[in-house]
Structure 1
Amino acid sequence: MDNLTHFNDQNRAKMVDVTDKDVTSRMAQATGKITMHPNTLSRIHDGKIKKGDVLAVAQIAGIMAAKQTSQLIPMCHLIPLTGVDIKFEDNNKDTITITTIVKTKHVTGVEIEAILAAQTALLTIYDMCKAIDRGMIITDVHLVEKNGGKSGHFIYQDK
């Protein structure tokens, strides 16, 4: 098992020193789902949620979250993002699946940015629809793929 890198010689938390790492292109993709009452999804499709266009707002919220990651997650580095994309698919019944892709050309990866973008977009859907459906469930938020850097390529394998 790899040693954890976020501890100093006194066994206290530290931000990892990435000073000597090479700048490389890096990408991370994450996903997550929100399940709701079928009527809620129907109202999202029809634009009948009082707070506005649910998916447009969720998309912007996810992008904003990716850009703010270092302010929310204590040991994350401030990373200049070169791209953030968020896509929505649904099963025309009761579930919306979100996929986020975050890119940079930097010395450290963007996995947390991609996961945070997905989680925030899902929470935004919940927030915008909670007046009609408090029973929504957010599940399966995880890293799907990451590429670039010393640790190489990762693809999620269902266990």
Structure 2
Amino acid sequence: MAQDEVKLTHLNHKGEANMVDVTDKAVTSRTAIAEGFVRMNAETLQLIAQKGHKKGDVLAVARIAGIQGAKKCADLIPLCHPLTLSKVQIDFEILAELSSVRIEAMCKLSGQTGVEMEALTAVSVAALTLFDMCKAVDPGMQIDGIRVLHKQGGKSGVWEAESASR
């Protein structure tokens, strides 16, 4: 294999799907932060910001859903390891100038594998919940920009996304 080639760790030597064996990896503190955006009409954003939506506090429900999503990541993504998360935090930022809600999820644990998928799942589920609760008033909402901003832990150390908005 050339040095430039990337080896996919979820495939075995036969090219079959394979759960990575982390048995011999060191237990280290691991953190991942992800973000995503839900773009919507200004009126919908105002309803959310002022907690005026008839379904109640949309962000509170989306926060709980995001936390639950992180905890259920291994049930949703077949080759993810079930993890014992020590912390999941979901934060929202109202971006009036972009008519958007920015969602940030932080997942943390001490373990043998990273928590990027849990952070991404938390953002995704929080965004889907926001969409679900507001679709009757704004069916044209868009979910986008879901990405990992930061990860640390394990032998790869710290990684930061280019131009992370944090």
Corresponding position: 1:84 with 2:88: yes
Unaligned runs of 5+ in 1: none
Partner of 2:59: 55
CA separation in 2, counterparts of 1:38 and 1:122? 17
Corresponding position: 1:144 with 2:144: no
How many Å apart are 1:21 and its aligned residue? Answer: 0.5
Partner of 1:114: 119
How many Å apart are 1:64 and its aligned residue? Answer: 0.1
Partner of 1:99: 104
Partner of 2:71: 67
1:65-118 per-position Cα deviation (integer Å, ceiling 9, x unaligned): 000000000000001000000111112351110111000000000000001100
Asked whether the 8 Å contact 2:11–2:18 carries over to 1, the reply is yes
Q: Considering only aligned residues, what root-mean-square deviation do their CA atoms show, in Å?
A: 1.0
Unaligned runs of 5+ in 2: none
Q: How does 1:147-158 map to 2 (within 5 A)?
A: 147-158=152-163
* TM, length-normalised to structure 1: 0.96
Residue type of the alignment partner of 1:120: V
Residue type of the alignment partner of 1:79: L
How many Å apart are 1:48 and its aligned residue? Answer: 2.1
1:4-41 per-position Cα deviation (integer Å, ceiling 9, x unaligned): 11112222111000000000000000001111000001
Partner of 1:33: 37
Structure 1 residue runs of 4+, over 4 Å off? Answer: none
Residue type of the alignment partner of 2:78: P
Number of aligned residues: 158
Asked whether the 8 Å contact 2:49–2:94 carries over to 1, the reply is no
Q: How does 1:10-25 map to 2 (within 5 A)?
A: 10-25=14-29
How many Å apart are 1:2 and its aligned residue? Answer: 2.5
Asked whether the 8 Å contact 2:92–2:101 carries over to 1, the reply is yes
